[in-house]
């Protein structure tokens, strides 16, 4: 039995994409606060507690516990519902918060469940459940970094993830293993096994630069991979923003300071 609203959509743009969702009368889409871009007249906005699905718990206590999990990992306990209350088809658009790609997910064709990074969710048809997935293995919990606490999207409707950089969809066969940086994982189907593997060798540990662990994804299933995690980009920008100008090169750095008026006479 299909419980999710059946929505049509189109993804617009190349590197700075947004998704335009077409709503029939009484159809609803949900999104995280801050994802909204624009909408037609005749669409109502309503802030709701949780995601509005049947999986968020019964009663006030159940809803509070479900929302509390999201707050603990930095997510918002509220979502916004956009409902077509007018006549005819209406459109509402949601934009990715940084350069990259928007990934459409037909959950009915993907086993009704996707595990993704906790900041990957963009929007979905009403009825899709957005919850928290805790990786239960000790190694993942202690050393998994970005991959320890993830988000799960459940249902049989459309949902949309966003990722930064180039995005590749890779299908793993049964027993096939992919070793990957935890930040490069956008999401994967529920049939994929997720774990953490240590990098062997003292040289790798001390001088490897990539850390002492990486994620292993074992098939069967589908994996979505991003080439540039936003955390990596932010870290690089911060590093260059805080470096002293004198460290940029004795000649060019000094010339830049002279032109910029940094030298005091």
Whether the Cβ atoms of residue 67 and residue 130 lie closer than 8 Å to each other:
no
Does 253 reside within a domain? Answer: no
Q: What is the CATH number of the domain that holds 234?
A: 3.60.160.10
pLDDT at 236 over 90: no
The pLDDT of residue 144:
45
- 108: nearest Cα among 125, 91, 123: 125
Q: How confident is the model at residue 72 (pLDDT cuts 50, 70, 90)?
A: low
Does 198 reside within a domain? Answer: yes
The residue among 143 and 161 whose pLDDT is bigger is 161
Does 81 reside within a domain? Answer: yes
Average pLDDT (141-164) is: 77
pLDDT at 259 over 50: no
Does 175 reside within a domain? Answer: yes
* Cα distance between residue 48 and residue 31, in whole Å: 11
Element at 24 (helix H, strand E): none
The pLDDT of residue 138:
45
What share of residues in the chain are helix, strand, coil (percent, to 5)?
25, 40, 35
Does 264 reside within a domain? Answer: no
Element at 111 (helix H, strand E): none
Does 217 reside within a domain? Answer: yes
pLDDT > 90: percent of the chain: 44
How many angstroms separate the most distant Cα atoms in the chain? 78
How many domains is the chain built from? 1
- 70: nearest Cα among 109, 33, 110, 114: 33
The pLDDT of residue 3:
57
The pLDDT of residue 102:
95
pLDDT at 127 over 80: yes
State how far the alpha carbon of 131 is from the alpha carbons of 20, 39, 66, 77, in Å: 24, 26, 8, 11
pLDDT > 70: percent of the chain: 67
Does 191 reside within a domain? Answer: yes
Does 129 reside within a domain? Answer: yes
pLDDT at 222 over 90: yes
- The range of the structural domain enclosing residue 156 comes to 8-243
Q: How confident is the model at residue 215 (pLDDT cuts 50, 70, 90)?
A: confident
pTM over 0.85: no
The pLDDT of residue 201:
60
State how far the alpha carbon of 265 is from the alpha carbons of 38, 246, 258, 261, in Å: 53, 17, 11, 10
Mean pLDDT of the chain: 79
């Amino acid at each position: 039995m299909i419980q999710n609203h059946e929505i049509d959509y189109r993804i617009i743009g190349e590197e700075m994409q947004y998704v335009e969702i077409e709503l029939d009368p009484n159809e609803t889409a949900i999104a995280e606060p801050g994802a909204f871009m624009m909408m037609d007249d005749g669409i109502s906005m309503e802030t709701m507690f949780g995601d509005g699905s049947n999986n968020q718990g019964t009663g006030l206590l159940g809803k509070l516990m479900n929302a509390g999990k999201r707050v603990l990992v930095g997510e918002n306990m509220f979502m916004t519902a956009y409902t077509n209350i007018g006549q005819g088809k209406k459109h509402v658009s949601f934009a990715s918060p940084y350069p990259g790609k928007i990934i459409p997910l037909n959950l009915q064709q993907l086993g009704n469940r996707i595990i993704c990074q906790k900041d990957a969710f963009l929007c979905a048809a009403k009825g899709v459940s957005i919850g928290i997935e805790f990786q239960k293995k000790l190694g993942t919990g202690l050393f998994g970094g970005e991959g320890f606490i993830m988000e799960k999207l459940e249902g049989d409707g459309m949902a949309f993830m966003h990722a930064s950089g180039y995005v590749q969809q890779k299908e793993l066969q049964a027993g096939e293993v992919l070793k990957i940086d935890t930040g490069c994982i956008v999401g994967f189907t529920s049939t994929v096994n997720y774990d953490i593997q240590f990098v062997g060798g003292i040289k790798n540990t001390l001088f490897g630069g990539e850390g002492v662990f990486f994620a292993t994804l074992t098939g069967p299933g589908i994996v979505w991979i991003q080439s540039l995690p936003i955390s990596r980009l932010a870290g690089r920008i911060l590093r260059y923003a805080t470096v002293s100008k004198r460290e940029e090169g004795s000649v060019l750095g000094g010339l830049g300071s002279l032109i910029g008026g940094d030298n005091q006479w």
